[in-house]
Structure 1
Amino acid sequence: MTSIVLVHPEIPGNTGAVGRTCVALDMELVLIHPLGFEISDKRLKRSGLDYWQHIRLAEFASWEAFLEERAPRDDQMFLFEEYAPRSFYEPAYPDDAYLVFGRETKGLPQAIVDAHGTQMVNLPMRSDKVRSLNLANTVAAAAYQAMRGSLSR
C-alpha cells in the first residue's frame, strides 16, 4: 500500500484534505510529529468531511521513530521538494511507496534532505511566478501520479 507521509504539517485543513485523498486512493496517511494542530481539531475533520473515520492513520513521534519502525527501502521513498533535481514524472513508483512531504512553510527539515537527497522529486511548474503549490494540491497530484499504473488496471 502506498503511504502519504506528512512531516510536521502545520495547517489542519491541508491535512484533512490530504486525508480525503488517502481515502479516495486507498492510501495510508502517516503523520510525523510535532504537528501544528491537535488531531482533534475541528478544521482538520471539516476538511476531511465525513471521510476522516475511514482514514488509515499512523502517527510517529519523530522522523527517526518512523524510520526505525517502518525501515523503508531507498527505492520506496520519494521526498517532494520544489528544488529537487528531478521531476515526479520520472520514477516508477512501487506499490509500497512512501510519498514524503514537509510542512507548508518550510518544507522538509534539512537533516532529512541531507540524508535522503537522492530520493527527492519535484512537481514541475511552467511559471516562475509561483514558488510552490498548496500542500494538499501537491499531495493529490503526486498520489495520482504514483497510482497511475494501478488505477488504469
Structure 2
Amino acid sequence: MSEPSMKMVLVTPEIPFNTGAIGRTCVALNLELILIKPLGFLLDEKSVRRAGTDYWKHVNLTQYDDWQSFLEARKPARDSMYFFEEHGAQSIYEPEFKKDAYLVFGCESAGLPRSVLDGMDDRVFHLPMLNPVVRSLNLANVATAVVYQALRTQLSG
C-alpha cells in the first residue's frame, strides 16, 4: 500500500478524548491531523495524551487559528474536501475518495458551522444509522469508520 496523503481535519473539537483517539488513528495510518481553533481543551491536557496513549508524540499535527487560515494556507481543491455531518445528503459509501482527501469533521456538540458548509452541499456525507433512536455517534468512531472506508475505496480503485 502506498503512503496515504489523506488528512483528518477537526474543526473546533471540544472533547480531548476524541481528539486523542483520532490522533492515534492518524498515527496508525500515517495521516496528518489538522486542528482548526478554537479548541475546547489544551493539547497538553492529560486526557488528550491518555486517549492517544503513548502515540500522541508521533501525531503529525498542524493547527490553524480558523477555517479561513486553513483555506488560505492549504488551498485544498474543492473535490478533495469531504465534509461529514449526520444529515449529509450522501452516504460515506458513495464517493471514491481521492488520495489527497481532506476528511473534515465538526465539533461534537454542533457539527460543522454553516460558514464552512456554504456552497458545499454536494460534498457533505453521513455515516448511516439504521435505528432512529440513535441521534448521533461518537466523533472518534465516525472519523475512524470514514477513514477506513476512504482507504478501502483507494485500495479497490
TM-score by length of 1: 0.96
Q: How does 1:81-120 map to 2 (within 5 A)?
A: 81-120=85-124
**C-alpha distance in structure 2 between counterparts of 1:52 and 1:30, whole Å:** 14
1:75: which partner in 2?
79
TM-score by length of 2: 0.94
Number of residues of Structure 1 aligned to a counterpart in Structure 2 = 153
SS across alignment from 1:31: strand
Q: 2:60 aligns with which of 50, 56, 59?
A: 56
Deviation of 1:74 (Å): 1.1
Paired AA for residue 37 in structure 2: H
Q: 1:4 aligns with which of 8, 20, 27?
A: 8
Q: Which runs of 5+ in 2 are unaligned?
A: none
SS across alignment from 1:115: coil
Deviation of 1:25 (Å): 1.0
**C-alpha distance in structure 2 between counterparts of 1:150 and 1:110, whole Å:** 29
2:26: which partner in 1?
22
Deviation of 1:149 (Å): 4.0
SS across alignment from 2:98: coil
**C-alpha distance in structure 1 between counterparts of 2:155 and 2:57, whole Å:** 23
Deviation of 1:131 (Å): 1.0
In structure 2, relative to structure 1, the CA distance for the partners of 1:151 and 1:17 (3 Å cut) is: farther
Percent sequence identity over matched residues?
52
Deviations 1:72-111 (A, max 9, x none): 1111000000001000110010111000000000000111
**C-alpha distance in structure 2 between counterparts of 1:20 and 1:109, whole Å:** 25
**C-alpha distance in structure 2 between counterparts of 1:77 and 1:151, whole Å:** 19
Deviation of 1:152 (Å): 6.7
Does residue 137 of structure 1 match 2:157?
no
Paired AA for residue 33 in structure 2: L
2:128: which partner in 1?
124
> Superposition RMSD on alpha carbons, in Å?
1.3
2:83–2:103 CA contact under 8 A, matched in 1? yes
Paired AA for residue 115 in structure 2: A
**C-alpha distance in structure 2 between counterparts of 1:107 and 1:50, whole Å:** 28
2:70: which partner in 1?
66
Q: Which runs of 5+ in 1 are unaligned?
A: none
